[in-house]
Amino acid sequence: MKLQYTGQEQVSAPVSDVWTFIRDPRLVASCLPDVDTVDVHDDTHFDATVKVGIGPVRGKFKFKIELQPDPDAGRMTVKINGGGFGSVVDLAAGANIVDNGNATTTLDWGGEATMRGPVATVGGRVLDAQAQKLITQTFANMAAKLNAATPA
């Protein structure tokens, strides 16, 4: 099963603050919903164990996550691979980091997930809604943390 998502977040922080945030694996990991554990390996690689509940499939999935920042292109790409319960999830997500010129930044994001195994058989609508919620919540969490860190 292949799913695609796009969205946009407005951040009340200058683009330099956004780049500092999204290049820190600990800060990025803190934006993932339902994270149980995080193990940072270096500046671009970390593992995360996430609590998952999609229909009858409940438990923890383990993911290997790679951050691929490209400030020159104004883009951050994230590759996520892993799964659990015999299911496999491969996700490529990214965001164009747009400097609005007024100490605010826009994250134009998109992602494509491929899922195989029991999680993919739960049902298209249930899986699609849950995946959309998780991806949207991750970017919303990132925007909220950046907004909170920026003085008014």
pLDDT, tens digit, 9 for 90 and up, residues 33-90: 888 999 999 999 999 998 877 666 677 889 999 999 999 999 999 999 988 877 888 8
Distance, CA of 48 to CA of 110 (rounded, Å)? 21
Predicted pLDDT at 89: 83
Q: Is the pLDDT of residue 13 over 70?
A: yes
Q: In the Cβ-directed half-sphere of 150, how many Cα atoms lie within 13 Å?
A: 20
Q: Is the pLDDT of residue 96 over 80?
A: yes
Distance, CA of 89 to CA of 145 (rounded, Å)? 27
User: Does an H or E element contain 3, and which?
Assistant: strand 2-11
Residue 52 and residue 139 in contact, taking contact as beta carbons nearer than 8 Å: no
User: Does an H or E element contain 26, and which?
Assistant: helix 25-29
Say what the pTM is.
0.85
User: Does an H or E element contain 145, and which?
Assistant: helix 124-149
Phi, psi of 4 (to 5 degrees): -130, 145
- Percent of the chain past pLDDT 90, that is, above it, reads 52
Predicted pLDDT at 98: 97
Q: Is the pLDDT of residue 119 over 80?
A: no
Least trusted range by pLDDT, from 9-13, 23-27, 97-101, 130-134: 130-134
* Average pLDDT value for the chain: 86
Q: Is the pLDDT of residue 134 over 70?
A: yes
Domains and CATH numbers, the chain: 2-149 (3.30.530.20)
